Amino acid sequence: MIYLQLFYSFLKIGMFSFGGGYAAMPLIQDQIVTAHGWLSMSEFTDLITISQMTPGPIAVNSATFVGIKTAGLAGAAAATAGCVLPSCVIVTLIAKLYLKYRSMDMFQGILDTLRPAVVSMIASAGVSILITAFWGGAAVTLSGTDIPLVMIFAVCVVLLRAVKLDPVIVMLIAGGLKLLFSLFGM
């Protein structure tokens, strides 16, 4: 039964995660944290971190991780298959339609209309993860803010956006900063 639940949950994620991995995060969170309780919000944040450090799409990495955690290797196969199957079917159909109708103004209008929705899904996931990272999922208060993590976040944003540093290097710097803060008891 757990295999069918994993397959179906990640099939829904795969079917409705338009816009890529970041846009899928609210859907993934809803299925694995809220609906089934397979992970806590803290574990979900860790999952996103791990998914960023490993090759492959976030949704597929999440499916594999959750599948292994809940039902072993067979669970990972079921969840991953559920996640990937809709993309294979949808991309094949859309590729055929796109090649046939790509010059139509209405088709381009539909694509333009979807962009704001995708951006809002990405922003929603980012806010949820930010709240969990800085306040541990608790109430957002100034006294409850993890100031060292906010400082690391600010440094990383500057390094990524202004300096255009490689994300892998930024992740290593973030780890080094956290280690430094830990040595000073922060």
pLDDT of residue 159: 97
Residue ranges of the domains in the chain?
A: 2-137, 146-186
CA separation (Å) from 22 to 50, 96, 121? 14, 26, 8
| Residues 10, 23: Cα–Cα separation, whole Å | 14
* Over residues 27-49, mean pLDDT: 90
* Over residues 12-27, mean pLDDT: 80
Asked if 125 and 22 touch (Cβ cutoff 8 Å), the reply is yes
Query: How many CB atoms sit inside 10 A of residue 137's CB?
Result: 15
pLDDT of residue 150: 94
Q: What is the pLDDT of residues 75-123, one digit of tens each?
A: 999 999 999 999 899 889 988 888 888 788 887 888 788 888 888 888 8
